[in-house]
Amino acid sequence: MSCEHFSNGRSFFHRCDPRVKLLCLLVGSWIIAALETLEFQVACLLLSSAFMFAAKLPLKETGLRILIVNTFCLFIWLTVPLTTSGIPLFHIIGPYFVTEEGVITALSITLKSNAILFLSLSLLSTSKITDLTHALSHLKCPSPLVQLFYFTWRYIHVISEEAKKINEAMKLRGFSLSTNLSTYKYIGNYISAIFLKSYDTGIQVQRAMELRGFDGTFWLIHHFNLKRSDIVFFTTTISAIMLIFIGDHFILSK
Three-state SS across 26-56?
HHHHHHHHHCCCHHHHHHHHHHHHHHHHHHC
Q: Is the pLDDT of residue 215 over 70?
A: yes
pLDDT at residue 111, as a whole number = 93
Q: For residue 117, what pLDDT is reported?
A: 92
Check if the beta carbon of residue 22 is closer than 8 Å to that of residue 139: yes
CA atoms within 13 A on the CB side of 241: 25
Q: DSSP character for 174?
A: T
The candidate with the shortest Cα–Cα distance to 191, out of 161, 157, 166, 156, is 166
- Average of per-residue pLDDT across 17-28: 90
Question: Hey, is 128 helix, strand or coil?
Answer: coil
Average pLDDT of span 15-29: 90
pLDDT of residue 42: 92
Highest mean pLDDT among 23-32, 141-150, 174-183: 23-32
- Indicate if the pLDDT at residue 1 is higher than 60: no
Give the separation between CA 136 and CA 92, rounded to whole angstroms: 49
Whether the predicted pLDDT of 13 surpasses 70 = yes
Q: Is 8 exposed, middle or buried (0-12, 13-18, 19+ CB in 10 A)?
A: exposed
- Tens digit of each residue's pLDDT (9 = 90 or more) over 41-92: 999 999 999 998 888 888 888 888 889 889 988 999 888 888 888 777 777 7
CA 64 to chain CA mean position, Å: 13
Averaged pLDDT, 5-23: 84
pLDDT at 182 over 80: no
Least confident of 146-150, 156-160, 216-220: 216-220
Counting residues of the chain whose pLDDT is more than 70, the rounded percentage is 95
| 118 band by pLDDT with thresholds 50, 70 and 90 | very high
pLDDT at 2 over 70: no
Per-residue model confidence (pLDDT) at position 14: 85
**90 phi and psi, to 5 degrees?**
-160, 160
- Note if the pTM is more than 0.85: no
**Residue 4 pLDDT level (bands cut at 50, 70, 90):** low
Confidence of residue 236 (pLDDT cuts 50, 70, 90): very high
Q: What single-letter DSSP state applies at residue 5?
A: G
